Amino acid sequence: MKKLILAAMTAALAMAGTASAHITLEQPQGLSGKAYKAVLRVGHGCDGKSTVKIHVQVPEGLLSAKPMQKAGWTAEKIKAKYDNSYDLHGKPVGEGVKEIVWSGGNLADDEYDEFVFRATVAKELPLGTKIYVPVVQECTDGAVERWIQIPAAGKSSDDYDAPAPYFEIVSEPGS
Ligand SMILES: [Cu+2]
């Protein structure tokens, strides 16, 4: 029995240890109907290997996504239809950039960098919704880290070892 508890504690500690360095979003909240600047923080490579590619899946409800220009990297913008149509500044939008792929650079495991895009948070989405932004990190020698886990009901991102970065939709103060 004692052994079991110890094993469980060790597992919990191991998870807590990695949680601090995952790919995460700098801003935990985004305003409904407004632009959200998604700053993806890359704290390490894949098991010591350098990062050479970052794939971002722009989730449903993030409209008109645009990557910020980044020296030393090229951003590919892949457009597709959204699942739904949204009102953006009085006009319906049903398609846009759904995937961004940064490549061409080389980020060492012992260095830090940020990958940035901006998009409008669809005002149709309910306040309090958590928007998950799945990211796949490719490294040298074919190593890959997939930050794509979205918590099941009753769980939180801390319960997973490779959670997708996320933010929560909030209302503008005073509105
Ligand atoms: Cu990590």
Please list the pLDDT of the chain residue by residue as tens digits (175 residues): 445 555 554 444 444 444 456 899 999 999 999 999 999 999 999 999 999 999 999 999 999 999 999 999 999 999 999 999 999 999 999 999 999 999 999 999 999 999 999 999 999 999 999 999 999 999 999 999 999 999 999 999 999 999 999 999 999 876 6
**Cα(113) to centroid of ligand 1, in Å?**
14
CA distance 92 to 95: 10
**Cα(108) to centroid of ligand 1, in Å?**
14
**Cα(26) to centroid of ligand 1, in Å?**
14
Tokens of 116: 């940035």
Neighbours of ion ligand 1 (CB under 5 A): 18, 21-22
- pLDDT value at position 14? 46
**Cα(86) to centroid of ligand 1, in Å?**
34
Residues with Cβ < 8 Å from 70, sequence gap 6 or more?
102, 105, 115, 116
**Cα(115) to centroid of ligand 1, in Å?**
16
Taking Cα atoms as reference points, which of 160, 151, 153 lies closest to residue 15?
160
**Cα(22) to centroid of ligand 1, in Å?**
3
**Cα(124) to centroid of ligand 1, in Å?**
33
**Cα(104) to centroid of ligand 1, in Å?**
22
**21-170 carries CATH number 2.30.42.10:** no
Q: For 126, how many CA atoms within 13 A lie in the half-sphere containing its CB?
A: 3
- pLDDT value at position 124? 97
**Cα(163) to centroid of ligand 1, in Å?**
10
Which amino acid makes up residue 125? L
Q: What is the pTM of this model?
A: 0.87
Helix, strand, coil fractions of the chain, as percent rounded to 5: 15, 50, 35
**Cα(10) to centroid of ligand 1, in Å?**
17
Q: Where are the domains of the chain?
A: 21-170
What is the enclosing helix (H) or strand (E) of 4?
helix 2-19
Query: Cβ(151)–Cβ(169) under 8 Å?
Result: no
- pLDDT value at position 145? 97
**Cα(159) to centroid of ligand 1, in Å?**
13
